Amino acid sequence: METKKYVIAMDQGTTSSRAILFNKRGEIQSSQQREFRRITNQRETTVIWDASTGRPVYNAIVWQCRRTSDIIDKLKSDGLSGYIQEKTGLIPDAYFSASKIAWILRNVPGVKERAKRGELRFGTIDSWLIWNMTGGRVHATDYTNASRTMLFDIHKLCWDEEILDYFGIPASLLPEVRPSSSYFGETERFGGAIPICGAAGDQQAALFGQCGFNPGDVKCTYGTGGFMLMNTGREPIHSQKGLLTTIAAGEEDRVSYALEGSVFIAGAAIQWLRDEMRMIRTSPQSQTYCEAVPDSGGVYIVPAFSGMGAPYWEQYARGTIVGLTRGVSKDHFIRATVESLAYQMNDLLSAMKEESRLSLSTLKVDGGASANDFLMQFQSDISGVHIERPQCIETTALGAAYLAGLRVGYWKDRNEIRSNWACEHEFVPTIAPENRKKLLKGWKKAVKTAIFWAQEEENDTV
């Protein structure tokens, strides 16, 4: 491999596509990014396409879309929630791919019949990219992406026939499932035959990029959504606290599991301030406004624009603002929005501590919003943990690069990868415990208000 100088990673995010070139030290040598209006994401977003032409039969249904909530309600009323969680490690929700596939099969004319005839293919975005980059020769995914479909048995490592039957999904529609660090074919889209040797869901890739190789290692990604993962080793932990059990990225014959907490709206709340509310011109500008006031003026914002994920799982919750007074300014409003990211992550961290029975004193962070020093300090304060931000916060792409590089021998082993990790900045708690307790009490009241709104809407009462 001495002739191989770089590894290129494709990072397919929710609002942009990026290609990043890494050297052997895990350093970024070059990157290109393009934003797009149509949202998509590797793990749950659903695409169904024609196996002959490669053309999608319908627009991709993004992970944030709630149109399939009624399908999930029906599944729960049919008594399948326990079976779903036991087999897939997931809590039934419109977030995952299964109900999205079912919706397309039921609502797009002719698709159900074509799927039965074996003419169509389903994939999350990783499968869609692999299919296109290999010229339609490979229809595959990896364990991490498969484990987010709500169709995959994470213990037997295969598609679950009973769940497929319930949703009416033909097995021929589904991709082959392989380890994250595997050979997925070759692409010639970059000026020559280049092997595709790594694929992973964005959050599992980030855990790998943060060198979260051992049980108890935890990372938190602040992207469009917010995601916290803890490596739990070779044995899965079935959550009783609203967390998900999922498969961690790994190499051949090394299947590890992770606990995950997912927040639907994190960095997207800052984008909301920028694009819809027009309170800031750029996302980084939010830090300046947050630092202009000593606190949020008693305001709490629960950004449940797409329902609430872990640990609450209230799909009908909607955004809620509480604590407004005449003295609240634009600065307070922006600060309350940014603080909401930290509060939501603290909910996940608290549940993870209880579930794992481990003392988690250090949290590794990454993702675009982790560059916000105010947010990171507030996270440290409100959670009472040390926070380590690496020099390279593009850990999703880095993790995918590491998985591919290990497969082809570019990196010898995990120890060589671990030596690349370096801390750029550390944040330590600075507020008094009583202040932390008071702030968290206010947040819990705000969350209860958002959930009460959802329940009242669902019951259609006044």
Delimit the domains of the chain by residue range: 38-178, 211-462
**Token digits of residue 182:** 């595997």
> What residues are paired with 390 via a beta bridge?
423
Contacts of 86 (CB under 8 A, 6+ apart): 238
> What residues are paired with 354 via a beta bridge?
none
Look at residue 185 in the predicted model and tell me its pLDDT.
96
Q: Do 154 and 257 contact (CB within 8 A), yes or no?
A: yes
**Omega prior to 311 cis, within 30 of 0:** yes
Look at residue 462 in the predicted model and tell me its pLDDT.
44
Strand order in the sheet with 28-35: 7-12, 16-22, 28-35
One-letter identity of residue 115 = A
What is the distance, to the nearest Å, from the Cα of residue 163 to the centroid of all Cα atoms in its chain?
A: 23
CATH topology of domain 211-462: Nucleotidyltransferase; domain 5 (3.30.420)
Q: Do 363 and 253 contact (CB within 8 A), yes or no?
A: no
**Token digits of residue 154:** 């994470």
Q: Do 361 and 386 contact (CB within 8 A), yes or no?
A: yes
Look at residue 40 in the predicted model and tell me its pLDDT.
44
Look at residue 33 in the predicted model and tell me its pLDDT.
87
Asked, colleague to colleague, whether 38-178 and 211-462 share their fold, the answer is yes
**Token digits of residue 173:** 């529609």
Under CATH, to which class is 38-178 assigned?
Answer: alpha beta
Q: How do the pLDDT tens digits run along the chain, 462 residues long?
A: 456 788 989 887 766 788 899 999 999 999 988 876 657 456 899 999 999 999 999 999 998 898 999 999 999 999 999 999 999 999 999 989 999 999 999 999 999 999 999 999 999 999 999 999 999 999 999 999 999 999 999 999 999 999 999 999 999 999 999 999 999 999 988 778 999 999 999 899 999 999 999 888 999 999 888 999 999 999 899 899 999 999 999 987 678 999 999 899 999 999 999 999 999 999 999 999 999 999 999 999 999 998 998 999 898 899 999 999 999 999 999 999 999 999 999 999 999 989 888 777 789 999 889 999 999 999 999 999 999 999 988 898 999 999 999 999 999 999 999 999 999 999 999 999 999 999 999 999 999 999 998 776 556 544
Q: What is the dihedral of CA 238, 239, 240, 242, to 10 degrees?
A: -140
Q: Give dist(CA 342, CA 339) in Å, integer.
A: 5
Q: To 10 degrees, what angle do helices 69-77 and 81-88 make?
A: 100
> What residues are paired with 47 via a beta bridge?
123
Largest CA distance in the chain: 70
Sign of the torsion formed by the C-alpha atoms of 177, 179, 180 and 184:
negative
